[in-house]
Structure 1
Amino acid sequence: MLTKPRLLAHAATAALLVLATPALARAETLTLKADRYLDVARGVLVSPAVIIIKDRAITAVNPSQPPTTDRTLELPGLTLMPGLMDAHTHLTLDVARGWRHDAVTKTAGDLALIGAANAEKTLMAGFTTIRDLGAADFADVAIARAVEDGLTPGPHIIAAGHATGITGGHCDITGYVPSVLPPSPERGIADSPDEFTKAVRYQIKYGARVVKICATAGVMSDEASVGAQQPSLAELKAAADEAHRHGLKIAAHAVGEAGVIAAAEAGVDSIEHASLLTPAAAEVVRRHGAYLVPTLYLLDAVDPASLPPALMKKGLQIREASKESFKLALRAKLKIVFGTDAGVYPHGDNAKEFYVRTQLGQSALEAVRSSTLYASALLDVPDRGQIKVGLLADLIAVEGDPLTDVRILENVRFVMKEGHVYKQPPRP
């Protein structure tokens, strides 16, 4: 039986889906007006903002003679921006809810429903595209398909399927007796170049649009080390080569120096975290042209005391080192893209990462570009990331100037994806 709160929740969800359903919009044309928009390429605010939208895309920006459209939506006092992108999320993960036993207590259906709820939170926070880097039983792929088919609201999702690493490594769900979760390449556990190749092929077969590997140990797993290299260079290269053979990019969780260097030399497209980055490792990353996706807000958002003692020790070990590594990456002029590791802390708080980065020396403009222009390049989505004719109408709006106060990105007032409105300010 549905209680009144549940009925209201169901009604709200139904209304949201009606508002955003592509079938209802047909080829409707829309004029979107705001006080200003952010030109991320030039790094300037342009006033006023008049955006014409048709068939999911932007067809005109501040035209000299605005055409007549089916309807007009006005956003007084707001600044329009491209929809934000997060290159490192885990939709099915919720550390605050408890996660250590999800692999043996949650079905794929459970994880998909959890992830769908988190996808909606992420979209409402202004993130219209995400790269989800690892989920069991292809739950992330299922969520991506459901969003694409209009079954549930969420951002565009580039899903990885199972992340792949060595037996007992960071990508292995460790701590269980051998009869529980037997390791296999299909589940992302590989111990030779051939097995890494097989693991990548399996993820792609079942819908992965990006490949994720674990090049080193990490905080949220049971190894004693926080950053030691795990797969060999040959294993890492086998995974990278196979991903590229299929036209996909590959991301590598890599914390310590040796693993960062090996991942870059293997040809991965992005290094995730790099919490213990060194000048030598930074130079190898720069030389090979890999992107860096730091995840910094979680360092202070997660209370180490809430973790098991062994994990708490590792978390404390990298907390300050990660911040220094980010400063080093800025000095080395590495290609930095926005990522959060959302799921380690609550989904929907993704934008809190911006302020942390600016406090560590990144300009507000570069922080925003890392989540728009630069993310577009890494994620291979050239059809978004700017307010520009011909690109998808993935847009958000905030109050004020994000180039003077990035914290306003934590309170997104308007969200549009592919020309469909998912969130807007209440009418006066």
Structure 2
Amino acid sequence: MMRKSIPALATAVFLLAAPAAFAQKTYLHCGHLLDVRSGKLLAQQTIVVERDRITGVQSGYTAASGPQDKVINLENRTVLPGLIDCHVHLESTPSRNSFREGFTLNPADVAFRAQGNALTTLRAGFTTVRDCGGSGVNTSLRNAVAQGLVPGPRIVSAGMAISATGGHMDETDGLSEDQIAKAGHPINLANGPDQCRQAVREQFKRGADLIKIASTGGVLDLSKDGTGAQYSEEEIKAIVETAKDLGMRVACHAHGAEGIKRAVRAGVTSIDHGSLMDDEAIKLMAKTRTWYVPTLIAGKSVADTARLRPGYFPPVIARKALDVGTKMQGTFTRATKAGVRVAFGTDAGVFRHGQNAREFGYMTEAGMSPLDAIRTATLNAAELLGETTDLGTIETGKMADIVALDGDPLQDISALMRPTFVMKAGVAYRQE
């Protein structure tokens, strides 16, 4: 009897904890609906949802048509599409002990943390994310979310990010010679065009959706300079061409101008961070229509931490954080004025997950209108991901990814920090 009762109890607990799937049809009565294409805020609209799709958007408040149908009252809310963050690290949790934890956490520990971070992100209104590099747990988490085993945003996973030896994603940087020898040759390290092609194929084999590389150093690594170029244009071109053959796009971590220009000329899909673009890099990105994923909140966060919490970072990181982090907003202003295309991304994992929407405030501080900022996380982000058929707008046929807020984000961008309702693929994960 005991052996039978334990599974039954587990099933009951799971059913109580799981979000409730909606009835045959769900009618969302929206006080105001933001049409991100036109920029219009439409009053008294009804969104009709069947299973995981939007099947209608109607003027006025439509009554339920059948006994199994459900009406959700959002008549005092502003409703908009589910938000998309194109640069997160769900496996990462910011901590003073981050470097030590690299030696003490098991993959299962990382996985449990990542699942919690995923749910926090979803409840913050971000229904889709592009995970730009982890250990491979990110890809497993993507699968678990897609199979309905755990709640979380839709995940587009880069698997393990590819780096040159000694580069930003070389996890052996700063270790003793003995520790480097024990680590062997990490599979994500590649030098020269042939190794770069092999590294792309390795991530493809392991199930990655896209390729992430670093063409410059970074802030949160132990290298003395986060701006220098770390890949040749020939190496990046080998990565891009191989990824294209496999139907994959390439996201490129880059801070310094030379590494940015090499990556753009080689054909990467996006430059992430782009902190120190010079005028030539900005003109090149505008001409080639390369996406810019700015991650302003990450720069603000690490600079503030280095300034206000002495000893939190090793000295080499604190110096870079104060240098690079304080320049990102100015770069953003120059790039957007020059017509560079922007897709929303935050680098969540460098700061606390669930705070992603703070990025909107930094974007508007730097001169972008609230509407255009919202478009970066809806229309633009969907285009960057190649998912415009399913994501980015509230329209018939799209996935039922829907967020409701108190307040009007076109007048108060901070309203995006306060979602009261979050639906992903027709299931509500937050309803207040």
Q: Is the 8 A contact 2:164 2:170 kept in 1?
A: yes
Residue in structure 2 matched with residue 297 of structure 1 by the alignment: 297
Mark the CA change 1:140 to 1:80 in structure 2 (over 3 Å): closer, same or farther.
Answer: same
**Matches for 1:19-168 after TM superposition, within 5 Å:** 19-20=20-21, 25=22, 28-62=24-58, 68-69=65-66, 70-96=69-95, 98-136=97-135, 138-168=136-166
Q: Is the 8 A contact 1:219 1:315 kept in 2?
A: yes
Mark the CA change 1:285 to 1:349 in structure 2 (over 3 Å): closer, same or farther.
Answer: same
Q: Could you report, residue by residue, the CA deviation over 1:124-172 in whole angstroms, capped at 9, with x for unpaired residues?
A: 0000000000001x10001101101111110000001110011111011
TM-score scaled by length of structure 1: 0.92
Cα separation, 1, equivalents of 2:250 and 2:18: 33
Runs of 4+ in 1 over 4 A off after TM superposition: 10-14, 63-67
Which SS does the other structure have where 1:212 is aligned? strand
Cα separation, 1, equivalents of 2:193 and 2:246: 17
| Aligned counterpart in structure 2 of residue 415 of structure 1, from 413, 418, 422 | 422
Residue in structure 1 matched with residue 405 of structure 2 by the alignment: 398
Q: Is the 8 A contact 1:129 1:157 kept in 2?
A: yes
Unaligned runs of 5+ in 2: 1-10
* Amino acid corresponding to residue 213 of structure 1 in structure 2: I
Residue in structure 1 matched with residue 395 of structure 2 by the alignment: 388
Shift of 1:238: 0.9
* Amino acid corresponding to residue 122 of structure 2 in structure 1: L
Residue in structure 2 matched with residue 337 of structure 1 by the alignment: 343
Residue in structure 2 matched with residue 233 of structure 1 by the alignment: 233
Taking only the aligned residue pairs, the percentage that are identical comes to: 37
Cα separation, 2, equivalents of 1:35 and 1:28: 23
Q: Does 1:316 align with 2:318?
A: no
* Amino acid corresponding to residue 31 of structure 2 in structure 1: D
Q: Could you report, residue by residue, the CA deviation over 1:382-408 in whole angstroms, capped at 9, with x for unpaired residues?
A: 111111111010000001111111101
**Matches for 1:235-250 after TM superposition, within 5 Å:** 235-250=235-250
Q: Could you report, residue by residue, the CA deviation over 1:328-364 in whole angstroms, capped at 9, with x for unpaired residues?
A: 1111110001100000000000001100110110110
Residues 99-108 or 167-176, more deviating: 99-108
* Amino acid corresponding to residue 385 of structure 1 in structure 2: G
Cα separation, 1, equivalents of 2:275 and 2:319: 15
Residues 157-166 or 299-308, more deviating: 299-308
Cα separation, 2, equivalents of 1:66 and 1:198: 57
Which SS does the other structure have where 1:179 is aligned? helix
**Matches for 1:161-240 after TM superposition, within 5 Å:** 161-173=159-171, 174-176=173-175, 177-184=179-186, 186=187, 188-240=188-240
* Amino acid corresponding to residue 179 of structure 1 in structure 2: A
**Matches for 1:227-376 after TM superposition, within 5 Å:** 227-302=227-302, 303-304=305-306, 305=310, 306-376=312-382
The root-mean-square deviation of aligned C-alpha atoms, in Å, is 1.7
Which SS does the other structure have where 2:16 is aligned? helix
Residue in structure 1 matched with residue 7 of structure 2 by the alignment: none
Shift of 1:11: 9.1
Shift of 1:63: 5.3
Shift of 1:74: 1.1
Cα separation, 1, equivalents of 2:102 and 2:411: 43
Q: Could you report, residue by residue, the CA deviation over 1:82-108 in whole angstroms, capped at 9, with x for unpaired residues?
A: 000000000011122632134332222
Mark the CA change 1:167 to 1:331 in structure 2 (over 3 Å): closer, same or farther.
Answer: same
Cα separation, 1, equivalents of 2:410 and 2:54: 23
Q: Is the 8 A contact 1:277 1:328 kept in 2?
A: no
Cα separation, 1, equivalents of 2:15 and 2:228: 48
Shift of 1:207: 1.0
TM-score scaled by length of structure 2: 0.91
Cα separation, 1, equivalents of 2:183 and 2:431: 45
